[in-house]
Structure 1
Amino acid sequence: MSRRLACLSSALALASALPVAADPVFNRIATFATPANMAEGEDTARESSAEIITATEDGMTLIYSDSPLGVLGLVDITDPRAPKPLGNIAMGGEPTTTVVIGNRAFAGVNTSESFTNPSGKVVMVDLASRSIAAECDIGGQPDAVARAADGGFIAIAVENERDEDLNDGALPQMPAGYVVKIPVLDGAMDCAAQQRIGLTGLAAIAPEDPEPEFLDVNAAGEIVVTLQENNEIVVIGADGAVATHFSAGSVDLAGIDTRRDGRLDFTGSLTSVLREPDAVKWIDADHFATANEGDYNGGARGFTIWRKDGTPVFEAGASLERAIAAIGHYPEHRSGSKGVEPEGLAFATFDGVPHLFVASERGSMIAVYDVTDPAAPALRQLLPSGISPEGLAAIPARNLLATANEVDLRADGLAPAHVMLFEHAEGSPAYPMLTSEGSDPLIGWGALSGLAAGAGPGELFAVSDSVYGSMPRIYRIDTTTTPARITAAIDITRGGQPAQLLDLEGIAPDGEGGFWLASEGRSDRLIPHAIHHVDAEGAITQSIALPEALLDNEIRFGMEGITVMGDRLWLAMQREWQDDPAGMVKLVSYDIGDETWGAVHYPLETPAEGAWMGLSEITAHGDWVYVLERDNQIADRAQVKRLYRIPASALQPAELGGPLPVVTKEMVRDLLPDLAILNGFVPDKVEGFAIDAEGQGWVVTDNDGVDDSSGETLFWTIGKVD
């Protein structure tokens, strides 16, 4: 494979749509972790979640459903920059969706014992006392709940979902679902007057087993409901009778990644992909939007705006997915199924402009569209939103948007579930910090694990790690634009074929147009520890295995950075190997001329209990050698994310196998405040550092390829380092 350069167009598609600095934009202002709502004495290590979210009518309190705990969680956002826990309210089952009318919250609660014997209720909560005031049995398992604009009724999609492990999840699986409409009189439900609206016999797919997924009510009291698995959309009139229904149809997609193969390749296509819509939201009296997440037979990867007679007036196709890929949030591990999986929607008018918000569950992104013309939505922003955003709540009276991010990964040592708050105000978008938007063909990227300076002004190079093991690449970055741009990708090849068995963690220019690359070994993946040299076209010209004196003591964590000092390569080993004293990690040298090895010891900070400490980058510049040192902790557990430096003169390597000299270090910068600048949670992996031709220091984080990660890549300058 030859070097692949991507020519940038003069006007980036996304950047051209972004507001100028004086226009209002959305930026994240706060993050709330759901375990904070557990009471004193409770086991806060239990799994928690924030799934679907709403706000009280005064916009001062958020209410989210926490399915694992079986509670509604309440958050005080009187000061939206400092959300405070208000505790949890037990629901006696699994809460799904909540709406608020006056001072009462109405939550759908699943109490089903089995798929074949579903049951559920609507629970009414008095918000003043935070106690349950009433319950209505609705005869089946509820999913979405919506309210009439005037508060006169609530509508519930009773899905009676299928067992995905039975017959490969194929329909029909009885009992059938339906919609429930419950009058609300003087703030109370009239359970006896509830209306159960049948939906059987409508869809072409399994008409005997409709599974209503999501619904919404317009100002006229009409209910639109999606039957996701049936690929059908139904509009119910204000009288409670089905007014119209139609197939959600299919979409042809081009310019997408269709294979889960460890590479990002946006040249694929799919035909006749069923939309299988999830969320649905009215935009005006005649139009609504659907998020086409897909289920077992579809997934159109975008969203559609419809007239209520069933005519599609806009189809996003692959455009949203490609915009998300351009900022490094494409989930390659979902390429074989539903890509970025648009799932949630919200609609509200901010500053006179109608906005549609589309949540990408697997891309962990919120897309912000101006839908002044429903037939021509304009993408305005892409907002970072924790891990797997499921629900959204717009509060235009307070210029706020809230998102519920459902995944709790603390059992894996990662982040808890979060609620996030965004403010609509004058300013510039804080995110993304790095994009390949405008590249042709589209350059997909992520998991940036090493950084190095180029020769030109504002020129940097980065590598990605084994997340994309079938597509090892070097990326050229132009930092003279905001956001910085990935302008080219160089494929790493061996013998004319894509190089395999690499886990690139470090990069250093060789001064002649090529690069030295550090590949971290993984015996469980048959990846050897090695240094590779590539030419300007990315072809491997030399591979250097680590010496036996090192390999005899290897562990899983190997080289995490590489730099050039004269005729020597210096490598940062991430963690202590078997022959290292506790708290000491090797900086290994390789003399290019005489092919000899040596090392010094670097003293690590002491990790917190249950954590480990290691290095993730090494960069020589002038009289100093800079290293990134970090713990493996995330969010509020993160304590050490720091840039240190060592006098270059102190790097006098001793022979491997014997005592090693210990270098001294001094801290240059605590990176924790930088990592919190987006008001999200602190990421684990600060992976790359480089000093450009003008002496500016640059830092990048590794987003793990959006797999069990929020996908956020932080890329910023710390200014002049000398």
Structure 2
Amino acid sequence: MLKPRHLVAITAALLATTASVTAAEYFNRIASFPVALNNPDAEAGVENSAEIITATEDGMTLVYSNALLGGIGFVDITDPTAPKAAGFVALDGGPTSVTVIGGKALVTSDTTEDFTAPTGYLSVIDIATKTIETTCDLGGQPDAIAKNADASLIAISMENQRNEDLNDGVIPQLPSGNITFFDVADGTVDCGTMRVTELAGVADFAGEDAEPEYTDFNSLNELAVTLQENNHIVILNGETGAIINDFSAGSVDLEGIDATEDGRLSFTESQPGRKREPDAVQWLDENRIIIANEGDYEGGSRGFTIFHKDGTELYESGPSMEYIAAQLGHYPEGRSDAKGVEPEGMEVGTFGETKFIFVNQERSSLVAIYKDTGDVPEYWQSVPSGLGPEGALAIPSRNLYVTANETDLSPDGLAGAHVMIFELSESEPAYPQIMSDLDAGGKPIGWAALSGAVGDAEKPGILYAVSDSAFSEAYIYEIDATAKPARIVKKTVVTRNGVPAQKLDLEGITLDGEGGFWLASEGDTAKLTPHALYHVNADGEIEDEIAYPAALLAGETRSGSEGVAKIGDTLWIAIQREWKDDEKGFVKLVSYNLETEEWGAVRYPLEAAPEGGWVGLSEITVHGDYAYIIERDNQIAGKAALKALYRVPVSELVPAELGGELPTVTKELVRDLVPDLAANNGYVVDKVESFAVDAAGNGFVITDNDGVDDSSGETFFWSIGAL
């Protein structure tokens, strides 16, 4: 378990990445490439993927495996800020890994149809002509491929993976796996040089069924191999194939973690004796290896470990990466009982005189970056990496780091798989833009899904935000926007009768003028969640609940309240989309007079909806003579077109009786927010959900990351300056 001083050090490092006044170097994302661009003729809605990634020796072309479409893709990064599609080579089966030697791409592919008789092959592909020159039968199912320092030798981990649907995936399930070697001459693989090192019987656990995963060579031609399900590590002589050493990856007593999927971020639980079950492995030098402890079979210790090649444990990260992810709003609560942030891919690269360690976290969609000090790694920064980063590639000659993100949600209308490019330069990190402090107990204030915000009436730079239904509890967050990054300094649970309130989906917050707040909850009758307003005091205790009237609910749909603002004695609520009684292209701004208890509304005209999508409202905030409204489509990435801030004169907010003819307000575009989002050099996110104006008159925009559920977890927070 990390001691409080270590947590304080982590927080200090997080803040230091954006508060440096010296010419420190940091990684920033400079481009994002949707891999679907390499397959323009693929059927719409077909999943893409980018898993393992490498580059040509000049660092100008990326090569990635795409098992879902059965081939390898190429990306031209001559200009790394503007990557271009450079072709695709289709292969039989599913490519599992790729490396490059000279002008050739060496690709392993899995053609297994029967787990008891695994099959696969190695392809040698000429990069210039995109033609397959040679194939070698591997006699089993391959996973990772690695080349040695002088590219005279390759090693392939033949996993011969288990059937996870058979007996709940219990092992052993034969046949066992092995390491297969080939000699390479002038970039050409001679299939006749194939030799095999059997690994059956090496591991202490299920040794008869060795399942090798990742491999990596050091400068001595020693090969490190992880046996993930066996929780074991093997060191081989690459030239002879002989086993030099092997040892258990061991276990970790995890304490202070969130180990229950209960819709809360608690970090008060434990998992004793948690097997590491490493996935990726990298050499730090000739004697030290580092492993990413993803877990698969019955473990996963959520961090990374450094070993001497003799098996001596040198460093264990414990849950520290999870705490960082929680502070950045990226902790995947839906994976709490299993693998947490799920460290998977890993890379080590020396940039100038600094050796960096990159740990890809599949479920948090972050890359944690550390400096190798030869002793305790120094946390440096975290960068956001699309959905499910697996492949990791350092290109020090060009100051680049690249990730391949395997998750593709485009069939569901969400973000597709991307390759993302980061550059090391003398600059401040562009991310995070908002993070949390530690709580009174020294643990991170976990947060996500910011869905509505309001500025403090007296303190410039102080905002309050609410969370939506991503959590089982509803929260009010206090944000210090004067800090860089902005900091969540306090989290208050919304309570009813002394216990956390249930059946809330908070989407709006405004000041009540007495130290408390009015909250708007988006209802969902199917889930018994009411459309309602809630009055809470400064401690988050609900003091009054106001249900929406029958005249309004007669036309209700799922898309309800998406913001609330107060003008005098009247609350104004933005309804997200058309309800059943609305004319297409118009939504209601609903009013409730706190003194007379009268309801009313006006009509707000929407922009035209994109093909296959919809347009709606996400926020309403009042400042001066105007009500500011966020209007957006529900599209993401390349399809995103409308994310904008409009304003409506307060003088036009004259409500008419519900059920009758409603007056239509006029609107004026204040700011197109798409360029702001695109400037983050990832893909344009869909949910711009909050806009607040502080006591100094500065406007702040916040996106909603959906609680890291089917999302990259990225939250963007920025100011558009004085209104």
* Greater displacement, 712-721 / 177-186: 177-186
Aligned-pair CA distance for 1:30? 0.5
Alignment of 1:472-621 (within 5 A): 472-621=474-623
Determine the structure 2 residue equivalent to 1:203: 203
Determine the structure 1 residue equivalent to 2:314: 313
SS in structure 2 of the partner of residue 258 of structure 1: coil
CA contact (8 A) 1:35 1:44 kept: no
CA contact (8 A) 2:323 2:443 kept: no
Q: For residues 328 and 55 of structure 2, what CA distance do their matches in structure 1 show?
A: 30
Determine the structure 1 residue equivalent to 2:182: 182
Aligned-pair CA distance for 1:46? 2.0
Determine the structure 2 residue equivalent to 1:379: 379
Task: Classify 1:670/1:516 alpha carbon distance in 2 versus 1 (closer, same or farther; 3 Å).
Answer: same
SS in structure 2 of the partner of residue 310 of structure 1: coil
CA contact (8 A) 2:13 2:379 kept: no
Q: For residues 503 and 400 of structure 2, what CA distance do their matches in structure 1 show?
A: 47
Which whole-Å deviations, capped at 9, do the CAs of 1:429-485 have from their partners, x for residues lacking one?
0000001144433210001000110131210001110000x2210000001111010
Residue 326 (str. 1) matches residue 327 (str. 2): yes
Which whole-Å deviations, capped at 9, do the CAs of 1:392-419 have from their partners, x for residues lacking one?
1110000011100111111111111000
Letter in 2 for 1:92: D
Determine the structure 1 residue equivalent to 2:468: 465
CA contact (8 A) 2:342 2:362 kept: yes
Structure 1, gaps ≥5 residues long = 1-6
Determine the structure 1 residue equivalent to 2:269: 268
Residue 33 (str. 1) matches residue 34 (str. 2): yes
Letter in 1 for 2:534: H
TM-score (norm 2): 0.97
CA contact (8 A) 1:53 1:62 kept: yes
SS in structure 2 of the partner of residue 114 of structure 1: coil
SS in structure 1 of the partner of residue 692 of structure 2: strand
Determine the structure 2 residue equivalent to 1:691: 693
Determine the structure 1 residue equivalent to 2:388: 388
Determine the structure 1 residue equivalent to 2:668: 666
Aligned-pair CA distance for 1:13? 4.2
Which whole-Å deviations, capped at 9, do the CAs of 1:528-571 have from their partners, x for residues lacking one?
11100111111100111000001111111100000110000000
SS in structure 1 of the partner of residue 470 of structure 2: helix
SS in structure 2 of the partner of residue 649 of structure 1: helix
Determine the structure 1 residue equivalent to 2:3: none
Residue 336 (str. 1) matches residue 337 (str. 2): yes
Aligned-pair CA distance for 1:11? 6.8
CA contact (8 A) 1:457 1:694 kept: yes
Determine the structure 2 residue equivalent to 1:91: 91
SS in structure 1 of the partner of residue 36 of structure 2: helix
CA contact (8 A) 1:342 1:361 kept: yes
SS in structure 2 of the partner of residue 414 of structure 1: coil
Q: For residues 569 and 223 of structure 2, what CA distance do their matches in structure 1 show?
A: 72
Q: Taking every aligned residue pair, what percent have the same amino acid on both sides?
A: 56
Q: For residues 8 and 492 of structure 1, what CA distance do their matches in structure 2 show?
A: 28
Aligned-pair CA distance for 1:20? 4.6
Determine the structure 2 residue equivalent to 1:82: 82
Aligned-pair CA distance for 1:179? 0.6
Q: For residues 507 and 666 of structure 1, what CA distance do their matches in structure 2 show?
A: 23
CA contact (8 A) 2:261 2:335 kept: yes
Q: For residues 114 and 456 of structure 1, what CA distance do their matches in structure 2 show?
A: 66
CA contact (8 A) 1:17 1:378 kept: no
SS in structure 2 of the partner of residue 15 of structure 1: helix
CA contact (8 A) 2:182 2:194 kept: yes
Determine the structure 1 residue equivalent to 2:714: 712
Letter in 2 for 1:546: Y
Q: For residues 527 and 296 of structure 1, what CA distance do their matches in structure 2 show?
A: 38
Aligned-pair CA distance for 1:117? 1.5
Alignment of 1:625-636 (within 5 A): 625-636=627-638
Aligned-pair CA distance for 1:672? 0.3
SS in structure 1 of the partner of residue 415 of structure 2: coil
Alignment of 1:2-401 (within 5 A): 12-16=12-16, 20-39=21-40, 41-238=41-238, 239-373=240-374, 375-401=375-401
Letter in 2 for 1:505: E
Q: For residues 11 and 404 of structure 1, what CA distance do their matches in structure 2 show?
A: 28
Letter in 1 for 2:60: M
Q: For residues 11 and 349 of structure 1, what CA distance do their matches in structure 2 show?
A: 25
Which whole-Å deviations, capped at 9, do the CAs of 1:93-121 have from their partners, x for residues lacking one?
10011111111111111011121111011
Q: For residues 10 and 279 of structure 1, what CA distance do their matches in structure 2 show?
A: 24
Letter in 1 for 2:322: E
SS in structure 2 of the partner of residue 357 of structure 1: strand
Q: For residues 525 and 179 of structure 1, what CA distance do their matches in structure 2 show?
A: 52
Task: Classify 1:271/1:8 alpha carbon distance in 2 versus 1 (closer, same or farther; 3 Å).
Answer: closer
Letter in 1 for 2:36: P
Structure 2, gaps ≥5 residues long = 1-6
Q: For residues 128 and 558 of structure 1, what CA distance do their matches in structure 2 show?
A: 55
Letter in 2 for 1:122: L
Q: 1:650 pairs with 649, 652, 656, which one?
A: 652
Aligned-pair CA distance for 1:9? 9.3
Determine the structure 2 residue equivalent to 1:4: none
Task: Classify 1:58/1:330 alpha carbon distance in 2 versus 1 (closer, same or farther; 3 Å).
Answer: same
Q: For residues 537 and 443 of structure 2, what CA distance do their matches in structure 1 show?
A: 23
Q: For residues 421 and 13 of structure 1, what CA distance do their matches in structure 2 show?
A: 23
Letter in 1 for 2:483: T
Task: Classify 1:107/1:247 alpha carbon distance in 2 versus 1 (closer, same or farther; 3 Å).
Answer: same
Q: For residues 223 and 10 of structure 2, what CA distance do their matches in structure 1 show?
A: 45
CA contact (8 A) 1:12 1:437 kept: no
Q: For residues 193 and 57 of structure 1, what CA distance do their matches in structure 2 show?
A: 24
Aligned-pair CA distance for 1:14? 2.4
CA contact (8 A) 2:102 2:186 kept: no
Residue 434 (str. 1) matches residue 434 (str. 2): yes
CA contact (8 A) 2:17 2:428 kept: no
CA-based RMSD of the aligned residues comes to 1.3
Which whole-Å deviations, capped at 9, do the CAs of 1:239-262 have from their partners, x for residues lacking one?
211111111110011221111011
TM-score (norm 1): 0.97
Aligned-pair CA distance for 1:168? 0.9
Q: For residues 10 and 218 of structure 1, what CA distance do their matches in structure 2 show?
A: 30
SS in structure 1 of the partner of residue 132 of structure 2: strand
Q: For residues 219 and 442 of structure 1, what CA distance do their matches in structure 2 show?
A: 40
CA contact (8 A) 1:303 1:317 kept: yes
* Greater displacement, 54-63 / 17-26: 17-26
Which whole-Å deviations, capped at 9, do the CAs of 1:592-644 have from their partners, x for residues lacking one?
01111000000000111111000000001111000000000000101110000
SS in structure 2 of the partner of residue 466 of structure 1: coil
Letter in 2 for 1:495: N
SS in structure 2 of the partner of residue 14 of structure 1: helix
CA contact (8 A) 1:235 1:242 kept: yes
May I ask how many residue pairs the two structures share in their alignment? 712
Task: Classify 1:118/1:17 alpha carbon distance in 2 versus 1 (closer, same or farther; 3 Å).
Answer: same
SS in structure 2 of the partner of residue 689 of structure 1: strand
Determine the structure 2 residue equivalent to 1:415: 415
CA contact (8 A) 1:321 1:340 kept: yes
CA contact (8 A) 1:20 1:428 kept: no
Letter in 2 for 1:418: H
Which whole-Å deviations, capped at 9, do the CAs of 1:81-101 have from their partners, x for residues lacking one?
111101110121100111111
Task: Classify 1:493/1:376 alpha carbon distance in 2 versus 1 (closer, same or farther; 3 Å).
Answer: same
Determine the structure 2 residue equivalent to 1:3: none
CA contact (8 A) 1:157 1:180 kept: yes
Aligned-pair CA distance for 1:44? 4.8
Which whole-Å deviations, capped at 9, do the CAs of 1:640-693 have from their partners, x for residues lacking one?
100000000100000001110000000000000001111000000000000000
Letter in 2 for 1:212: P
